[in-house]
């Protein structure tokens, strides 16, 4: 196997070899059952491992959950950046308005705008922290992809939809045709470009 595949031997290949050995030498195994115990353990171990990976639904992590988490983080950065821009614009306007006012009032207004400028620095720090988290998510995505590749995992097309991640859209867990309950309706803020706009909602009331 190593001659063909090199150092990288998948669990599938190992399981195949174990089954082959067990199958082709069944008679011999009856004569020497102790010698084949380890192979049987190995085959069972591989089967359990594959079942455990399949139960974790790694394709949901790769196709749905990690990309969704990334998109949410991008939306957080964009929203905080936009809000910070508004704070700064307001503070700058205050600075301009304070010019020409009595010195005492100008000093007070400057103290206020200074506090706004200082606090606005949060956007830089949170942006850098979020970049770090995005890097971790990418790492998780890569590792899950490598793991599923190593064991030759193929998603079962007939499997029921995966459970949603904590805080993710509960709708994902609903079966086709089922009526949403109140909790199923909760999805948190929509990503930019998704969900209904205020105009869409207004149209429903016209």
Partner 1 sequence: MSVDKSMHILIVDDYKTMLRIIRNLLKQLGFENVDEATDGTAALQKIRERPYGLVISDWNMEPMTGIELLREVRADEKVKGTPFIMVTAESKTENVIAAKQAGVNNYIVKPFNAETLKRKMNSVIGDF
What is the binding site for partner 1 (CB under 8 A)? 81, 84-85, 88, 91-92, 95, 110, 113-114, 117-118, 120-125, 127-128
CB of 190 to partner 1, least distance (A): 25
CB of 119 to partner 1, least distance (A): 8
In the block, tokens 């995992």 appear at: 153
Name the residue nearer to partner 1 (CB basis): 95 or 141.
Answer: 95
Name the residue nearer to partner 1 (CB basis): 95 or 184.
Answer: 95
CB of 102 to partner 1, least distance (A): 17
CB of 121 to partner 1, least distance (A): 4
CA distance 201 to 206: 9
Name the residue nearer to partner 1 (CB basis): 10 or 126.
Answer: 126
Name the residue nearer to partner 1 (CB basis): 30 or 125.
Answer: 125
Name the residue nearer to partner 1 (CB basis): 121 or 192.
Answer: 121
In the block, tokens 């000093």 appear at: 107
* DSSP sequence for the chain: -HHHHTT---HHHHHHHHHHHHHHTHHHHHHSGGGGHHHHHHHHHHHHHHHHHHHT-HHHIIIIIHHHHHHHHHHHHHHHHHHHHHHHHHHHHHHHHHTTS-HHHHHHHHHHHHHHHHHHTHHHHHHHHHHHHHHHHHHHHHHHHHHHHHTT----TTSPPPPPPTTS-GGGGPPTTPPP-HHHH---SPPTT-S--HHHHHHHH-
Residues 6+ apart with CB under 8 A from 148: 53, 58, 59, 62
Name the residue nearer to partner 1 (CB basis): 83 or 190.
Answer: 83
CB of 72 to partner 1, least distance (A): 21
Are 1 and 17 in contact by the 8 Å Cβ rule? The answer is yes
CB of 69 to partner 1, least distance (A): 23
């Amino acid at each position: 196997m190593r001659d063909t595949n090199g150092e990288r031997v998948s669990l599938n290949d190992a399981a195949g070899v174990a089954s082959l050995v067990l199958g082709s030498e069944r008679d011999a195994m009856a004569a020497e059952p102790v010698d084949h115990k380890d192979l049987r353990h190995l085959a069972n171990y591989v089967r359990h491992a594959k079942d455990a990976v399949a139960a974790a639904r790694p394709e949901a992590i790769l196709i749905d959950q990690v990309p969704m988490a990334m998109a949410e983080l991008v939306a957080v950065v964009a929203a905080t950046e936009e809000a910070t821009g508004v704070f700064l614009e307001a503070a700058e306007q205050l600075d301009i308005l304070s010019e020409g006012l009595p010195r005492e009032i100008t000093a007070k207004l400057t103290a206020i705008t200074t506090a706004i400028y200082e606090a606005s620095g949060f956007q830089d720090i949170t942006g850098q922290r979020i970049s770090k988290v995005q890097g971790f998510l990418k790492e998780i995505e890569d590792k899950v992809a490598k793991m599923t590749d190593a064991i030759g995992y193929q998603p079962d097309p007939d499997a029921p939809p995966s459970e949603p991640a904590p805080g993710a859209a509960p709708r994902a867990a609903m079966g086709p045709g089922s009526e949403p309950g109140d909790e199923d309706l909760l999805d948190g803020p929509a990503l930019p470009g998704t969900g209904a706009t205020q105009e869409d909602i207004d149209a429903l009331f016209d």
